[in-house]
Amino acid sequence: MALFASVKQLEIIGEAANNVTKQFKKIYSEIEWRKIIGLRNLLVNEYFGINKEIIWGIIKKDIPKLHVEVKKILEQL
């Protein structure tokens, strides 16, 4: 069940990233917007082919980095 909840949260992050303006993405280019959106698309379209080890790797490695970057952005706004 945790995997499904995690996948849903990654989808939401990807959907949010997809709705960020091009100008905002350009200003904050240190965030890998295309990869985030690409992951969302993969999760939505290839749901039964999801590799749980890859998902856990993203959660353990990439999400903490993204969290730090988003916090920096919020402090600047």
Rounded distance, CA 71 to CA 15, Å? 18
- Is residue 34 annotated as part of the catalytic site, yes or no? no
Residue burial 46-73, b: 16+ Cβ < 10 Å; e: rest: eeeeeeeeebeebbeeeeeeeeeeeeee
Please report, for the chain, the start and end positions of each structural domain, with discontinuous segments joined by +: 2-76
Residue 9: per-residue pLDDT: 97
Residue-level pLDDT, tens digit, the chain, 77 residues: 788 899 999 999 999 999 999 999 999 999 999 999 999 999 999 877 889 999 999 999 999 999 999 999 999 98
Catalytic residue among 7, 33, 37, 40: 40
pTM of the model: 0.89
